[in-house]
Amino acid sequence: MKILLTGANGYIGRRLLPVLVMQGHDVICLVRDKRRIELEEKIIDKVQFYEADLLKPEQLQDLPKDIEASFYLVHSLGSSSSSFQQMEKNTSQNFVEAINKTECKHIIYLSGISNDDTLSKHLSSRKNAETILSQAKASLTVLRAAIIIGSGGASFEIIRDLVEKLPIMVAPKWLRTRCQPIAIRNVINYLSGIIGKEESYGKTYDIGGPDILTYKEMLLIFAQVRGLKRYIITLPVLTPRLSSYWLHFVTATSYKIASSLVDSMKNEVIVENKGIEDIVPQELITYSEAVKMAFDRIAQNEVVSSWKDAFASSKINTELMEFVQVPTYGCYMDKRTAIFERNRSEVLQNIWKIGGDRGWYYWNFLWKLRGYMDKAVGGVGLRRGRRSHDQLVAGDSLDFWRVLVADKKEGRLLLFAEMKLPGEAWLEFKISKNEEGKNKITQTATFRPHGLFGRLYWYSIFVFHEFIFEGMMNKIISHQESEKESALTG
């Protein structure tokens, strides 16, 4: 079957794609930039790409006509609260207009459980998208999920941040709200198993795991799995705004996402619309087992996708790859080079492992301080970490940077800053040969200021750059991996 997969770069899409290919389907990935997807060799020849932005209907005119089924895995959670509802409305309408011109018979939409009479803005937006998608000529099947638990998932990473960083939590009252979490593996099984099942056409199903838990119980079970003792005190006085700030400062999530999540946590997400278990039977994984499985993935360095890598979590525009060519006009630059005798692959590996648990090699406490400062003014801070200990692909988040280019063959890593700045910043590492044929590392920090304040900012931190950037480059060359780091990367 020829299947159109929207959201192929997203957390769910990246995991669903290889499953669809293994099932023998011909998959067309609708993406804004195909350079962001790194596929295994065994499936790369079996996947086609169609580059388009669903907010730009003119880019959808040449969509292949012989599509038989489609997955709609698009959302705008990371956008501002004032815009994400309109964005979701526009993208779903544009999708319907485009898919109506094809031979598609079946649309599958992953939404959120929304059975309460009064819904949050986020859940209302998802439900509105269901209504729009149902107007397509193709039959619609809606799968409404509760919290999805899996390595790299937003809910999993937020819970992990809370549990691992706070021995005692003074938390908002929404921790008493009940939900029915579901393992990512069960979600993928439902999505891949429902394709073309005519008995599901025009139907809506809630999907959840076997456990109904409060958010407080989820935190405590997570702590138990991790072998941690945690104490939680719930207070009725924290307003949604204060709750959002609390979640933002304690976890890796942005304030925009925190605000949407807190708003949604007033709604119970419990399975009511049943029936999919008869169409796609499977053994449902308990919440504690889902947590254990997620950490097994992390331990094996097999986190396929992460919510942090979605463009929606980025402050820059969706045309990310337009930033690949670092500008020079009107920019300040700190460029350093060094010749090294060490094996090229070892130095390159040090570059590829920068950030996350390893840190930034030199005066790491200052990098952490900069992260705290960024978090304090609403930025992403350092808590996003990285998806993998030793792998980077274009589109990955890396602490408060976004990976634009990760080309090991060319020895080039280019990062774009997503911290709060009075301008735009790039950090580039490149290994090449000098005229004498010796290995050379070039490390370039580029800053394009916005106005007078941007220029004052650059000069105010110039003295720190003298120490930090020189020390970082030298440490990248000389760093020897410890036994602990070797164990992490397996």
DSSP string, 190-231: HHHHSTT-GGGTT-EEEE--S--EEHHHHHHHHHHHTT---E
Q: Which of 267, 299, 331 is the last residue of a domain?
A: 299
Helices (H), 6-83: 11-22, 41-44
Residues 263 and 324 in one domain: no
Strands 401-407 and 397-398, by their bridges, are antiparallel
347 inside domain: yes
| pLDDT tens, N- to C-terminus, the chain (490 residues) | 999 999 888 888 888 998 999 899 999 999 887 766 766 666 777 889 999 989 899 999 999 999 999 999 987 654 444 566 788 889 999 999 999 999 999 999 999 888 877 777 777 888 889 999 999 999 999 999 988 998 777 777 778 777 877 788 777 777 888 999 999 999 999 999 999 999 999 999 999 999 999 989 999 999 999 888 888 887 776 565 666 666 666 665 565 666 666 666 677 889 999 999 999 999 999 999 999 888 776 554 444 454 444 544 444 444 444 445 676 767 889 999 999 999 999 999 999 999 988 999 998 888 888 888 887 887 777 767 888 888 888 878 899 898 888 888 889 999 989 888 988 899 999 999 988 889 999 999 999 888 778 888 898 888 888 889 999 999 999 999 875 555 555 5
How far is C-alpha 303 from the geometric centre of its chain's CA atoms?
11
Pairing of strands 332-340, 231-235: unpaired
Residue 135 falls inside a structural domain: yes
| CATH code of 131's domain | 3.40.50.720
Residue 305 located in a structural domain:
no
- Smallest CA-to-CA distance from 74 within 31, 39, 104, 119 is with 31
Contact call for residues 431 and 425 (beta carbons, < 8 A): no
In a domain, 194, yes or no: yes
- What is the rounded CA–CA span in Å between residue 432 and residue 410? 8
Task: Report the DSSP beta bridge partners of residue 172.
Answer: 235
Q: How far apart are CA 247 and CA 68, in angstroms?
A: 42
Specify whether 243 is located in the same domain as 392.
Answer: no
Q: 237, 269, 299 — which closes off a domain? A: 299
Last residue of a domain, one of 235, 266, 299: 299
226 and 349 together in one domain: no
* Total structural domains within the chain: 2
Given a contact cutoff of 8 angstroms between Cβ atoms, the answer to whether 351 and 457 are in contact is no
pTM metric for this prediction: 0.66
Query: Whole domain around residue 349: which residue ranges?
Result: 314-489
**Residue 152 falls in which region: left (phi positive, over 0), alpha (psi -120 to 50) or beta:** left
19 within a domain of the structure (yes/no): yes
Collect all residues with Cβ–Cβ distance below 8 Å to 323 and sequence separation of at least 6: 316, 404, 416, 424, 426
Regarding whether 95 and 180 lie in a shared domain, the answer is yes
Domain assignment present for 481: yes
